[in-house]
Amino acid sequence: MRILLVDDEVEFIETLAERLVLRDIAAEWTADVDQALEMARQKKYDVAVLDVKMPKLNGIQLKRKLQEIQPAMKFLFLTGHGSDEDYRSGSSEAGSDNYLAKPLDIETLIKIIKKIMD
Partner 1 sequence: METILSTSGEAGLVFMGQMNASISHEIKNTLAIIKENAGLLEDLTTMAQQGRAPLDPEKIKGLAQRIAKQIKRADVLANNMNRLAHSVDAPVAQVEVNEALDFMLQITDRLSAYRGAVVTCKSCREKIQLTTCPFLFNHLIWMFLSQAIEWSGDDKKIEVSVCRTPHGVRIDFAGSRQNRIPESCKDLSFQHQQLLESLGAEFQPHGPGGGFSIVIKPLTEGRNRPVK
Q: How far, in Å, CA of 117 to CA of 107, rounded?
A: 15
63 touches partner 1 by CB under 8 A:
no
Q: How far is the CB of 113 from partner 1 (least distance, A)?
A: 16
Q: Is residue 19 at the binding interface for partner 1, with CB under 8 A as the rule?
A: yes
24 is a contact residue toward partner 1 (CB under 8 A): no
Q: Could you give the string, one character per residue 29-58, with x where binding to partner 1 holds by CB under 8 A and - elsewhere?
A: ------------------------xxxx-x
Is residue 50 within 8 A of residue 44, CB to CB? The reply is no
The reply on whether position 18 binds partner 1 by CB under 8 A is yes
Work out how close the CB of 42 gets to partner 1 at its nearest, in angstroms, rounded to a whole number.
26
